[in-house]
Chains A and B, each alone.
Chain A
Amino acid sequence: DQQVKQNSPSLSVQEGRISILNCDYTNSMFDYFLWYKKYPAEGPTFLISISSIKDKNEDGRFTVFLNKSAKHLSLHIVPSQPGDSAVYFCAASTTGNQFYFGTGTSLTVIP
């Protein structure tokens, strides 16, 4: 059973606009969430994380929002740049335990 879901396999956004990637989870025990970015022929690279005690975490152009009641998190990229084109994975865990990954969303930023 997929505990972490990314329902949009792909997303295209114009350069300079906002990219919003979504992720839903089913396990209410998850208390730590991460986003990874993956370029072709490379491993996933850690991007940003958020603990369940927060509802927002910001790092430069990247912001992650967590809505615990809806079991939903999102990654906002503002402004989007062509170099952001990659596959983005969300992951969730109960701190100190196994990570569960979504299936990924392929983002294309159009120049």
Chain B
Amino acid sequence: SAVISQKPSRDICQRGTSLTIQCQVDSQVTMMFWYRQQPGQSLTLIATANQGSEATYESGFVIDKFPISRPNLTFSTLTVSNMSPEDSSIYLCSVGQGVLAKNIQYFGAGTRLSVL
């Protein structure tokens, strides 16, 4: 399985600022995913990041709020823009591996974000 490093592990931010979360994988992967887990809720997919193309966003998430970069096959960033307290969540990146790339997803440790 892939080893995924995610930075920062946690942060406390002020309302109106932005935070960029980095995700580094130890092997080349086609598909990377960004999830959010709000308190007491399930993991919700924000977007799928494919190298060389625009990220695909799920319903309820927009590029202006969550811009994503995928410059190569081992790295991606998610920015949480113009933050509000409602953005306080755990943000997780994952990669898909398997016969079909999405068959199994492996996760980073997550970024715990608190917005004041």
Chain A residues at the B interface, C-beta cutoff of 8 Å? 2, 4, 32, 34, 36, 41-46, 49, 89, 91, 93, 95-104
Contacts and interface: CB of A to CB of B under 8 A. Distances in A.
A96 B9 CA distance: 29
A41 B104 CA distance: 21
Nearest to B97: A46
Contact of A43 (B42, B102, B110): B110
A21 to B, nearest CB: 14
B113 interface: no
A103 B100 contact: no
A76 to B, nearest CB: 20
A88 to B, nearest CB: 12
Interface in B23-79: 40-45, 58
A99 B105 contact: yes
Given A2-B42, A101-B43, A43 B109 contact: yes
Contacts of A89: 42-43
B80 interface: no
Contacts of B100: 95-96
B6 to A, nearest CB: 8
The DSSP consensus for interface residues of chain B is: loop
Given A43-B94, A44-B43, A103-B42, 16 more contacts: A34-B104, A42-B110, A43-B107, A43-B108, A43-B109, A46-B1, A46-B104, A49-B104, A93-B102, A96-B100, A96-B103, A98-B58, A99-B45, A103-B40, A103-B41, A104-B42
B92 interface: yes
Listed residue (B40, B92, B94, B103) with the most chain A CB atoms within 10 angstroms of its CB:
B103
21 contacts: A2-B42, A32-B103, A36-B107, A43-B94, A43-B107, A43-B108, A43-B109, A44-B43, A45-B107, A46-B1, A46-B105, A46-B106, A91-B43, A96-B101, A97-B102, A101-B42, A101-B43, A103-B40, A103-B41, A103-B42, A104-B42
Interface in B85-116: 92, 94, 100-110
A98 B45 contact: yes
